[in-house]
Structure 1
Amino acid sequence: MTARTSNSRTERTYTVVEVCAGAGGQALGLEKAGFEHQLAIELDETAATTLKLNRPGWDIRVGDVADKSVWDPAEFEGVSLLAGGVPCPPFSIAGRQLGASDERDLFSWAIEQVAIVRPRALMLENVRGLSQPRFIAYRQRVLNRLRELGYEPFWKLLHAAEHGVAQLRPRFVLVALKPEDAEYFTWPEASEAKKTVGETLKDLMSADGWPYADEWAAMASDIAPTLVGGSKKHGGADLGPTRAKAAWLQLGVDGKGIANEAPGPQSPHPAEVPPRLTIEMVRRLQGWNDDEWSFTGKKTSQYRQIGNAFPPPVANAVGEAIIRAFNHVSVNQTYAAQLAQAADDPLFSLLNDNPGGTPERLIYEGIPTLTPSKLAKRISALSHDFEIRQTRVSGETFYHLGGFRGFTGQEDHFRHEYMAENRSKVS
């Protein structure tokens, strides 16, 4: 943090380094909150070109954030905020949920950069899947590591619709602050007033003279399902899988593709032929104002950039909450209770603290509610994220918790080979 004097008062400048920046949804939101970008890094060249188009004065680098030739984290030691939207597929409910065994997982790698950058705060966002029971041990490892590094972590599932965006879009957000700031951190308050798809897009639907825009807006009287941007490997310019398309249809929207233009004077009634959204409409649904951001690339690429973004209003709200904590605006009265209620994973803790746990001890002494069948499922889930070794002694099975499978920067990790072979396909 630096300070500058303007109009006889001191203004604080808070800086941010953003990894996996995408096309700039989180970047714009943090900028609006008051952060100044020292660096933004993005793997996808088209998304990086979008960033450069909109913020030509920023230091924007293209490449794998874990590649030391792209950036040296040590050069940014002491930045106010380290932020990013690391890849979602390792945790997505729509995927295989391989977690640490997925070559694209960068969540734990990002945590390790805290040890080098030593930011005043950390902010990472990901899909709702990371909040599910499947990843309780993964989350516990993240919390433990951040506490080892001297930070107090906070998790919360935020819904974009509660922060001025006309879609549900749940995102699991991690914020970690140093103890002197942590007691002043409070999550942004949710807004009770929610925007509907109809009121958000009616003017765009009527822009080319469509006579049924008002009737369509009445049909689209709810928030949208989550926009699905897809990836280079899967997903195109449509609004998601079958269930998502069905939800869009209930709002009077054909989700099978993206239109080049709004419906015109001769376009039929939405009850007969529902209209498709345009890129401009998708951009607004994701929380961008019409004239504040331009996107490069072809239609499918633009849709992917928008659909995969962290909505700027949500990033803005979290960013403002972090700055309020920096400024020690007000103490969070529930801070102590939040720390006391922080849920640990009892199975992970038992295996971590008591190497070689038997099923009997784990079930009857440590976790009475854990049945043999549930234990087997938990051990199976754990094995995706940690090495689990089993031994048999006198007819009893002993479980041994081994090393973490995830990528934290290891030179010999399997991720390197994957990236070398699939660089152009990863998004």
Structure 2
Amino acid sequence: MRPRSIERSAQHVEEAAGLLKGSFGAWVRHECKIEPRTVLGYRKVARHLSGHRKFLVKQKLTPSAAVILASAKPEGREAALHSLRSGRRINADEMKIVVSSGETRKSATSGLPAFRKAANSHASDVAGRLGRLVAEINSALETHSPALLDLAKGARPLSLQLVAMTWIGDPSSEDGIRVLSRALEDFAKARKSGQLEESAHGLVERFANFGNVEEPKATAPAPEAAPDTRTANQRRRALTSISTPFKHGLTSFEVCAGGGGQACGLSKAGFQHVGMLEMDPDACETLRANFGADHVIEANLVGYDPGDVGPIDLFAGGVPCQSFSKASSKRNGEDDDRDCFPEALRLIERMKPRAVMLENVEGLFGPDYDMYRHRILGRLGKLGYACEWRKVRCAWFGIPQTRVRTILVGFLEADAMSRFRWPEAVAHYKDEPYPVIGAIDWWLRSGGYVPSDEVTDAFDCVAPTILGGSTKKESMDFGQRKTAEKWRAMTLITTRWGELPPAPGHDGPILPANGLIAALQGFPADWKFRGDRHPVYRQIGNAFPPVVALHLGCAVATALTGIHHDPGRAISLQGTRFRLEPVRSTNADGTPREPRPPASALLPQTRDLRIRKLAATSSILLRENEGEFPHESVYPPHEGDDREEAELEHYVWYWGSLDKERVAQAAADGAGSGVPPAAKI
């Protein structure tokens, strides 16, 4: 039926309902052979969703879901429409959850009983988890088990929840909670064997004596904490490339971590890694250099046994993509020995995380792998997860590449899935992508090179997808012939590889280096890569861009916690690392601060600068600026009538071994072109 026919039919139904008040239902059942309830749903759809008809048809919304959407309250309807605009496909059952989560309460106090019930349930859950943890700690102490360190690492989120709890009732119980939370926090922070055992015994004792704890009476007032005398610049320098403004305490376990692109983005989104699994030794060294050695696991994903890693909020990773990559000559999909999706599903079934986020290449969305993607969804569905596949364009988040990744996101909790929104494009990057020159300009200038207008214009574009390849790839290249031509059009050399940015005064095509590729992938400027040139290139090329992982991580954290996490806060925090304040004239205590020596005094002094001195003191330059020559008596006797040539001879005599022919040629060129000879020199 055409749109106009649908609109006319809706108008006729409304007219009939107005004319047949009280008997409309019987008329519909007798004349139209349709149940009145069904017609009522269609009337609501025409009344509330007619302005979104084209969009909803494009989203392939089912009639049942449309009726539920039209019957919802305005705030619930708006929340569901926002979720649909983010690209989600919502069926009828999910629509009920989405619209109910978006509806607000009638009054501020009507939800108080439900809140009390939820708070009591949360407190009971925390108490139960704490009891199980103490029982495991006690068992580990009795058997001298090495699992004590793993228990301490897993106790961190529970410690944060216990600190946040408020006990209403007996003040002595509140004191007991405070003492118990300090004991749990000490155990969670302990890492050495002696500290572990001591803090574990203390936690078990505090838990056993809970309710009978008395705070020691202070015999003297506690000393005031020393004021923080650090300057704003010093506090900013304490930030790292993985610092985050979010304190939600969610944990993550990542497989196939590689060079740490996804781990970097998730850390900025506030996730605390309890494990990063990677089999490549060089990539593991990169992870240790940036995250520390505590949670880096150098092992193969195939057959890996995670043991008891504690509760996991997010299972993430980028399993090997050669089975589906368009750049691979052998794409066997699920029949390929390199396909590690079954191993990732095995670990998900074992760990039972609250959320799952896996990324792979765009080729996985090809029609040849439709059934394979559906089988993965079916397997996760049997485990209790609600999941979605989505193609994400990295250029929408400021990555100057045509890079597209396939993302799988799933949640164990239905409410979390209903709250999840796919990240939308940042700023104007959907229509006007971020150019290559914007990402690599700092790297080009880091060696003193100043890019010309021609170079800047050549890099004012979006680059092709960077390909890292597998360990079997013996060289670093820019892909096949057509792709390599695009890189050459950006004034890059595609047959050789360098290590440093261009030198000052460089002219001609630019030799690429790993620093340039890392900038194109969005890695922080101070990210520490480890390994030889080729392994480092492979780590960079195969990485998931950190800024894309940040946006997805914030979306997952928002869905898990129900609190909005804006990725812009993390980006702003990273920006403060490079925004220094002017130096104050006084110290923190008000005393005057000694002036700093000028920057020139800190640089090595160069004495042998004859050409520069000649250019700065030449009478030719003085004639241009002052309009007269120095007095003739300052020069020794000379021959000839050409005053400019004679002056150059005098300065050659004065400065010693200066190349006379070069200066004379510069004077001749300057006289012919109208440019001062000193400027030519």
Q: State the TM-score, normalized to the length of structure 1.
A: 0.71
What residue is the counterpart of 1:166 in the other structure? 400
- 1:68-79 counterparts in 2 under 5 A? 68=304, 72-76=305-309, 78-79=311-312
Correspondent of 1:36 among 272, 276, 281: 272
**Contact in 1 for aligned 2:357/2:410 (Cα 8 Å):** yes
Correspondent of 2:437 among 194, 198, 214: 198
**Contact in 2 for aligned 1:228/1:239 (Cα 8 Å):** yes
Correspondent of 1:59 among 277, 291, 295: 295
**Contact in 2 for aligned 1:202/1:213 (Cα 8 Å):** no
What residue is the counterpart of 1:253 in the other structure? 492
What residue is the counterpart of 2:256 in the other structure? 20
Deviation at 1:8, TM superposition (A): 7.3
Deviation at 1:6, TM superposition (A): 11
- 1:231-310 counterparts in 2 under 5 A? 231-269=470-508, 274-291=509-526, 293-310=527-544
1:295-341 per-residue CA deviation (whole Å, 9 max, x = no partner) reads 111111111111111111111111110000012247xxxxxxxxxxx
**Contact in 1 for aligned 2:248/2:270 (Cα 8 Å):** no
Higher relative contact order (CA 8 A, sep 6+): 1
Deviation at 1:5, TM superposition (A): 6.6
Deviation at 1:209, TM superposition (A): 3.7
Question: For the residues of structure 1 that align with 2:496 and 2:369, how far apart are their CA atoms?
Answer: 33
Residue type matched to 1:219 in 2? Answer: A
What residue is the counterpart of 1:384 in the other structure? none
Deviation at 1:165, TM superposition (A): 1.4
Q: Does 1:220 align with 2:456?
A: no
Q: Does 1:183 align with 2:418?
A: yes
Deviation at 1:211, TM superposition (A): 4.7
Which structure has the larger Rg over C-alpha atoms? Answer: 2
Question: For the residues of structure 1 that align with 2:528 and 2:313, how far apart are their CA atoms?
Answer: 28
Question: For the residues of structure 2 that align with 1:305 and 1:211, how far apart are their CA atoms?
Answer: 29
What residue is the counterpart of 1:351 in the other structure? none
Question: For the residues of structure 2 that align with 1:253 and 1:118, how far apart are their CA atoms?
Answer: 47
CA separation of 1:213 and 1:231: change in aligned 2, threshold 3 A: farther
What residue is the counterpart of 1:46 in the other structure? 282
Deviation at 1:115, TM superposition (A): 1.5
Q: Does 1:116 align with 2:272?
A: no
Give SS of 1:100's match.
helix
The structure with more strand, counted as a fraction of residues: 1
Question: For the residues of structure 2 that align with 1:3 and 1:318, how far apart are their CA atoms?
Answer: 26
1:201-246 per-residue CA deviation (whole Å, 9 max, x = no partner) reads 1232233343544431111111111111122212522222222211
Question: For the residues of structure 1 that align with 2:293 and 2:272, how far apart are their CA atoms?
Answer: 11
Question: For the residues of structure 1 that align with 2:164 and 2:310, how far apart are their CA atoms?
Answer: 30
What residue is the counterpart of 1:399 in the other structure? none
Give SS of 1:262's match.
coil
Residue type matched to 2:460 in 1? Answer: S
1:162-220 per-residue CA deviation (whole Å, 9 max, x = no partner) reads 11212121110101112121000011111223321112212322333435444311111
Deviation at 1:263, TM superposition (A): 2.1
1:31-51 per-residue CA deviation (whole Å, 9 max, x = no partner) reads 001100001110111101111
Residue type matched to 1:287 in 2? Answer: G
Greater displacement, 6-15 / 89-98: 6-15
1:87-129 per-residue CA deviation (whole Å, 9 max, x = no partner) reads 0101111222201211111012212322111100011000001
Question: For the residues of structure 1 that align with 2:457 and 2:272, how far apart are their CA atoms?
Answer: 41
Q: Displaced runs of 4+ in structure 1, greater than 4 A?
A: 5-11
Give SS of 1:261's match.
coil
Question: For the residues of structure 1 that align with 2:339 and 2:556, how far apart are their CA atoms?
Answer: 25
Question: For the residues of structure 2 that align with 1:9 and 1:228, how far apart are their CA atoms?
Answer: 48
1:103-161 per-residue CA deviation (whole Å, 9 max, x = no partner) reads 11101221232211110001100000101101011001001111111111111111111
Deviation at 1:3, TM superposition (A): 5.6
What residue is the counterpart of 1:128 in the other structure? 362
CA separation of 1:25 and 1:211: change in aligned 2, threshold 3 A: closer
Identity of aligned residues (%): 35
The structure with more helix, counted as a fraction of residues: 2
What residue is the counterpart of 2:378 in the other structure? 144
CA separation of 1:77 and 1:39: change in aligned 2, threshold 3 A: same
Deviation at 1:66, TM superposition (A): 2.2
Question: For the residues of structure 2 that align with 1:325 and 1:17, how far apart are their CA atoms?
Answer: 18
**Contact in 2 for aligned 1:40/1:61 (Cα 8 Å):** yes
**Contact in 1 for aligned 2:326/2:363 (Cα 8 Å):** yes
Question: For the residues of structure 1 that align with 2:165 and 2:464, how far apart are their CA atoms?
Answer: 45
1:60-99 per-residue CA deviation (whole Å, 9 max, x = no partner) reads 111211234xxx3351353001111100101111222201
Deviation at 1:53, TM superposition (A): 1.4
**Which consecutive unaligned segments of at least 5 residues does structure 2 have?**
1-156, 167-246, 565-681
1:237-279 per-residue CA deviation (whole Å, 9 max, x = no partner) reads 222222221121222222333322222244324xxxx212222
- RMSD over equivalenced CA pairs, Å: 2.1
Q: State the TM-score, normalized to the length of structure 2.
A: 0.45
